[in-house]
Structure 1
Amino acid sequence: MVRYGSRGGRKKYFRLRSPSRWKFLDSDSSGEEVSEGPVIAENKKPKLLCVDDEVEITSALKRVLIRDFEVIEVHSVGAAKAILKENSDIAVVLTDHRMPDGTGLELLEFAQVTRPEAVRALLTAHVDLSAFFNAVNNALVHRLILKPWDNEYLRAQMIESLAAHTSLLEKTELERLAITDVVTLVRNHRFFQDQLKIEVERANRHGRVLSLIMIDIDHFKAVNDRFGHPAGDAILRQVASRLTEGVRTLDTVSRYGGEEFALILPDTDVEGASLVAGRLREAIASQDFGLTTITISLGIATLPAHATTSHDLVRKADAALYTAKRQGRNQSVVASVDSPLD
C-alpha cells in the first residue's frame, strides 16, 4: 500500500498493481488534484537543480517534482554554476535554454565537466530542435523536455533519469579508479603521462611556460625495512596529502612510482616552481610522521627553458632530482640548460 497526499485532513491510499505502471494522484498547494506518483522517502530525496530566469516557471516545476526531489531553484546560469561547484551530490540538472546571462546548453556543458555524474535535462520551447538533438546525440543532454510540458511526462522522465544518474555515478567512479593510485589516492603514472603531454602541447601552442617537479622521499627503503610496508604506505599517503594541500587545484599531483611523485605546474616559470618546491620541502620536513622524520628531494625543469617535449622535460627534471640526492638530499635543484638528457 502506497500512501499519497491528504486533502482536507483525510488520507488517500492507492495500491500499485505493477511497479512498471504509473498512477498519479496528489494535491497542489490549492488543494486541487494534479498528476503525481509514488513518493521517494524524505531522507533519500536526490537533489534536482532547477534553472529558469522566471520564478513562476521554477515554482511550477518545483510543485511537480518536490515529492521526489530536493528541488534547488536558481534563476541564472551564473548562480547555477556556483551551485554545481559547491555541491557534489546534484543528481539532475533541469534548465531552460534561454536566460539573460547564458544558455542552457552552456550550463549543461559546464555540468558535464564539473559534475559528470549528474543527469542533464534541457527545457525548451524552440521549434527548430536540430541543435538540441545534436546535443542529445553527443551526450551533452540526456533528457529533452518541450514547453509547455505535461506534468505526468515531466515527472516520469525525471524519475527515470535517476537510473541514468546511478549509471553515471558508476561510470565516473570507474573512470576515477582508472586514473588513481590505490595507495596514495593521487593520480597514477598513466594519468601523469597523458596529462603532461596535454599540458606540454597547450603550453607550446600558446607560448606559455610549464614546470615539472620530480620528488623523491629520502631514504624511503630504510623506512620500509625498519617499520614495514604498511607503515611505508601510510607515509606515502601522508606525503601525497601534504603535496596536494601545497599546490593549486589546476596543478597535477601524481605518484610517479615507488617513493617518487611528480607535480605538473601550468603557467609556472622557474622562479615560481622553485618557490613551490621550497614550500613543499619545508612542509614535509616539519610534518610529524610519528615513526621517523621524513624529508624529500626535488628536481625542477621548465618549458621552454629546459625542454620543449614531455619526454625531455621529465628527463631534465629527473636529472635535477638525481643531482639533489647526490648533493646530500633534502633540497631542490633546478635543471641546467646544458644538462645531459641521457
Structure 2
Amino acid sequence: MTARVLIVDDVPANLKLLDAKLTAEYFDVFMASSGPEALDAAKEKQPDIILLDVMMPGMDGFEVCRRLKSMPETEHIPVVMVTALDQPSDRVQGLEAGADDFLTKPLNDMALFARVKSLVRLKMVTDELRMREATGQRIGALNAGGDNFLLKEPGRILVIDDRPTSVKRVTETLSLEHSVIVAETPEELFELASQGDFDLLIVSLTLQEHDGLRICSQLRSLETTRQTPILAIVEEGDTGRLVRALDMGVNDYLVRPVERNELVARCRSQLRRKRYQDYLRDKFQQGLEMAVTDGLTGLYNRRYMEGHLSTLVDDSNKTGKPVALLIFDIDYFKPVNDTYGHAAGDAVLRQFASRISQNVRGIDLTCRLGGEEFVVVMPDTDLAYAMMVAERLRQCIASKPFVLNEETGQAIDVTVSIGIAMTEGARDTASRLLERADQGLYRAKRDGRNRVVAEAA
C-alpha cells in the first residue's frame, strides 16, 4: 500500500530520518518544518496521513492538530503525533486535540509502518463516502451536510477481557457516558455482536484461554461487525502482536495498564469516526437510492456515474492518483431479446450486474450505462491491476451459463467485451476518459469480441 505522507518537524535531521524510512517503504513523502508551513502544506497537498512533531517553537503540534481538525479541507486527514513525550497526560492532550494516535520516540519502524497503513486504509473508506456525498450534491440529489454525526447520544460498547480488574476499570470509566456490555466468552461476544447495533468493540489481545487476534479476525470477517471499530488492549512492548492486529483491521489500541483518561479519549475518537461514516452512508443511501440507481439491476445509473467520475478525475488531477475506467458491452445481446424475449434479456442483465458487482472492490463503483453497457470506475488503480480485474471479470462472465428461466432451467452462454482507459495527467477530463474506454471497447469488439483492450491517450 502506498500513501502520501506529510511529516512535520522543526529538526532537519528528524525530517531526513523519517523521510528515508518512509521512502524506503515506497511512501510518497513531503515535509514541513513549522506549524504554519504544515497547515499550508496540508491544505495544498491533501496528504493521506500527517506525522506531526509536538515540540516545535511558535506553534506546537497540539495547536497544529487542533487547527487541522477545525478546517473542512483537512479535518478528515489522520494525524499521528510523534514526540519524545511519553506521559499518559500527553497522549490524552494529543487525542483531545484530534490526533488519531500518539507515537513515542525513538520510533519502532514496524509499529510506525503498521499504524500508517492502518490509518490510511480507514481514511480510504471515509474518502470514498465523502466523495459519494460530494457527487450527490453535485447532481442535486443531496443537500449540504449537518452535524448529525457528532457525539450527541451514548454509545453502545461491547467488551471482552478476562482480567477482572481491567474489566472493572473499563466498565466503570465508560459507563459514565455510554452503555457497556461485557462478554464472558468469544461465543457470547459473537452472539451479542450479531444481535446488537454496537458502536465499539473492545478486545483484549492477551486472553488466557483464547486467541485475541483470532477474535479480531473473525469480527472483521462477519457482515454485522465488519464496519464496527475495534479497540484492542495490548501489553507494553508487545509490538509484534500489535502490528498484526493493526494489519487485520483493528482501529486503535490501548497499552496496559489502561489509563482512564486515555481510554475515554480513544473511545470518543472511534465513536466520532464511526458516527460520521454512518452519517455519510445513511445520508447517501436515503438521498440517492431512488434518484441514481437503475431500476432493473440495482446498480448506479449513468447520471450518477458521470457525476462521480467527474469528481474522481478532478481529485486525480490534484493528487496524481490514477483512476481506471472499465466499460463492458455484452456480446450479441440483441439476438437474446429477439430469440428469447425481453424477460429473458432482463434476466441476463440482472445476473450480469450481480456477477460484476460481486467481483470488484468495495471502493469501486459499478454502473449500468444503458442497454447492455456497464461501467466500473476504479479509484487509485494502475493499469496492471485494472487489466487483471477486467480479465477476471471477463472469465467470470464466460465461465458459467446465464439462466433465462428458473422454472425450466433454460440457460445460455454469454461473453463480454471490455475497454479500459486510465487518467492521463492534470488536464484530463471524465468525458475524455470515457471516450478512450469506449474506443478500447470498439477495438475489442472489432477484433473478435470476448476480450479486454486498453486504450491509451
Give TM class, smaller chain.
0.5 to 0.7
Give the aligned partner of residue 113 of structure 2. none
- Spell out, residue by residue over 1:311-334, the C-alpha distance to the aligned partner (whole angstroms, 9 max, x if none): 100001011111111222111111
Return the alpha-carbon distance in structure 2 between the equivalents of residues 187 and 71 of structure 1.
28
Deviations 1:159-207 (A, max 9, x none): xxxxxxxxx79x8445322222111111111111111111111211111
User: Could you tell me which of 186, 206, 210 is aligned with 2:323?
Assistant: 210
Matched, 1:87 2:224: yes
Identity of aligned residues (%): 34
After TM superposition, the score normalised by the length of structure 1 is: 0.57
2:158–2:200: 8 Å Cα contact kept in structure 1? yes
Give the one of 169, 172, 175 matched to 1:56.
172
Distance verdict in 2 for CA 1:304–1:231, change over 3 Å: same
Shift of 1:109: 4.0
The structure-2 alpha-carbon separation of the partners of 1:71 and 1:251, relative to structure 1 and needing over 3 Å to count, comes to closer
2:441 to 312, 321, 328: 321
**In 2, Cα distance between equivalents of 1:71 and 1:110:** 12
Distance 1:263 1:71 in 2: 32
| Residue 277 of structure 2: aligned partner | 113
Say which one has the larger Rg. Answer: 1
Name the structure with the higher helix share. Answer: 2
The runs of at least 4 aligned residues of structure 1 exceeding 6 Å deviation read: none
Q: Look up the equivalent residue of 2:420 and give its one-letter code.
A: I
Give the number of aligned pairs. Answer: 228
**Alpha-carbon distance in structure 2 between the residues aligned to 1:75 and 1:215:** 41
Gap regions ≥5 residues in structure 1? 1-46, 64-68, 91-96, 118-167, 338-342
310, 314, 322: which one pairs with 2:430? 310
The equivalences for 1:229-240 within 5 A come to 229-240=342-353
Is the 8 Å Cα contact of residues 307 and 313 (structure 1) preserved in structure 2? no
Encode CA deviations 1:38-94: one digit per residue, 9 max, x unaligned: xxxxxxxxx97248984125557549xxxxx957585769x9xx79x9538x9xxxx
| Equivalent residue for 2:290, pick from 151, 173, 177 | 177
- 2:290 alignment partner, SS class: helix
* 8 Å Cα contact 2:323-2:377 kept in structure 1: yes
Hey, which of these two has a bigger chunk of strand by percent?
A: 1
TM-score relative to the length of structure 2:
0.43
Alpha-carbon displacement from aligned partner over 1:269-320 (angstroms, at most 9, x marks no partner):
2222111111111110112213211000011111127971111000010111
Specify every segment of 5 or more residues in structure 2 that has no aligned partner in the other structure, as ranges: 1-153, 160-168, 181-194, 204-215, 228-260, 404-410
Q: Is the 8 A contact 1:76 1:99 kept in 2?
A: no
Deviation at 1:221, TM superposition (A): 1.1
Q: Output the aligned Cα RMSD.
A: 3.8
Once the two structures are superposed, what CA deviation does each residue of 1:119-141 show, in whole Å capped at 9, x if it has no partner? xxxxxxxxxxxxxxxxxxxxxxx
Structure 1, residues 231-260: CA drift from partner, whole Å, max 9, x if none?
A: 111111111111112211111111111110
Q: Give the match's secondary structure for 1:102.
A: helix
For the residues of structure 1 that align with 2:422 and 2:378, how far apart are their CA atoms?
9
Say if 1:289 and 1:306 are closer, same or farther in 2 by CA, change over 3 A: farther
**What residue is the counterpart of 1:280 in the other structure?**
393
- Give the Cα–Cα distance (whole angstroms) in 1 for the partners of residues 427 and 384 of structure 2: 16
The question of whether the paired residues in 1 share the 8 Å contact of 2:293 and 2:300 is answered with yes
AA partner of residue 87 (structure 1): T
